[in-house]
Amino acid sequence: MIDADILDASILIVDDQEANVRLLEEILRQTGYRHVTSTMSPQAVCDLHRANHYDLILLDLQMPVMDGFQVMACLKEIETTGYAPILVITAQPGHKQRALASGARDFVAKPFDLIELKTRIRNMLEVRLLYKQLAAQNAALAALALHDVLTGLPNRRLLMDRLSLAIAHARRNQRTMAVMFLDLDGFKQINDTRGHDAGDMLLRLFADRLVATVRQEDTVARLGGDEFVIALHEAIDVEQVAKLVSKVISAVSKPYRIQGADVHMTVSVGVSVYPMHGQDEETLMKSADLALYEAKQAGKNDYRISAYADL
């Protein structure tokens, strides 16, 4: 843990005695902590923590109206699955066990030893910041499990979840939704002639154009290679879907600037519409895939809407 991370931590001092607050503020600032806040109102602590998510709360126990134990009970409701960053500083050493059982992570008795106080503050901040780093890493791993590494788009797993939700929405509201299965025409030739770096750049640019062309509520996903799927959250009718497909084909067929040269690509698209071509995600995907095959067979750079009723 580098010192800069520790000294950038956010700290809240909670004490109803102004002299105690000023003393702790001075100690922390002399040590080098840059983000120190204080309050003499215990009733304000939980709202402050909800708004600021402090890395450390230095909490007195004996305060009027709302004591430190009541404050900890409120803070535990906020940090239900996390690490409650509470260091109790009190003139009541007999309450140590109760304070720790109530949610405090450490305890310092007044009058405190300055070196001990600084050490306990630093130790708690190290644990708090390590906990935050671990939570961020876990979130990143969870995102990787649901997204394509190259383009950042949802992968098949997340796509199927989104499709399920879109179908449920359409069923509940007696509306239609659609699936577009897209495949770049001649993508292998790009990899063979310009290299995989150029191919990866093309896929990223292609993905960006797809996202920019559809609505925010629609889902653009990459299944792998040069296969992409768009789940249209809601559509009025097949004619509206056809217009959007034509718009997508036009947008992605414009030249791509890669390695200093213009690269021209076309795309073939297969479309299925709920509920005519399927009433679940697997059937709609299969119908759109079959329609994509027909578009490829017809000469590419075109689309086909599924000719099949619910398979």
How much is the pLDDT for 241?
Answer: 85
* Cross-sheet strand order for the sheet of 35-39: 35-39, 10-14, 56-59, 86-90, 106-109
Return the residue matching tokens 């239900």: 80
DSSP assignment, residue 84?
-
Closest CA to 266 of 289, 296, 304: 296
How much is the pLDDT for 1?
Answer: 44
How much is the pLDDT for 127?
Answer: 86
How much is the pLDDT for 82?
Answer: 64
Phi, psi (5° rounding) for residue 233? Answer: -60, -40
Domain 156-305 in this protein, CATH class: alpha beta
* Joined tokens for residue 126: 């190290």
Is there a catalytic annotation at residue 218? no
Return the residue matching tokens 């076309």: 266
Q: Where in the chain is the domain with CATH 3.30.70.270?
A: 156-305
Q: Which residues contact 229 (CB under 8 A, 6 or more apart)?
A: 159, 179, 180, 181, 182, 220, 221, 222, 223, 285, 288
How much is the pLDDT for 128?
Answer: 86
Helix or strand or coil: residue 24?
helix
Contact 183, 288 (CB under 8 A): no
Domain 3-143 in this protein, CATH class: alpha beta
Strand pairing partners for 258? 261
State the 10-residue block means of pLDDT for the chain, 311 residues long.
79 95 95 95 95 94 92 88 84 89 91 93 89 78 83 93 91 91 92 90 95 92 94 81 90 92 93 93 95 91 80 47
Phi, psi (5° rounding) for residue 198? Answer: -65, -40
Q: Which residues contact 5 (CB under 8 A, 6 or more apart)?
A: 129
How much is the pLDDT for 311?
Answer: 47
Cβ atoms within 10 Å, residue 177:
25
* Joined tokens for residue 206: 């292609």
**Which one from 3, 226, 262, 280 is the annotated catalytic residue?**
226
Q: Which residues contact 41 (CB under 8 A, 6 or more apart)?
A: none
Q: Where in the chain is the domain with CATH 3.40.50.2300?
A: 3-143
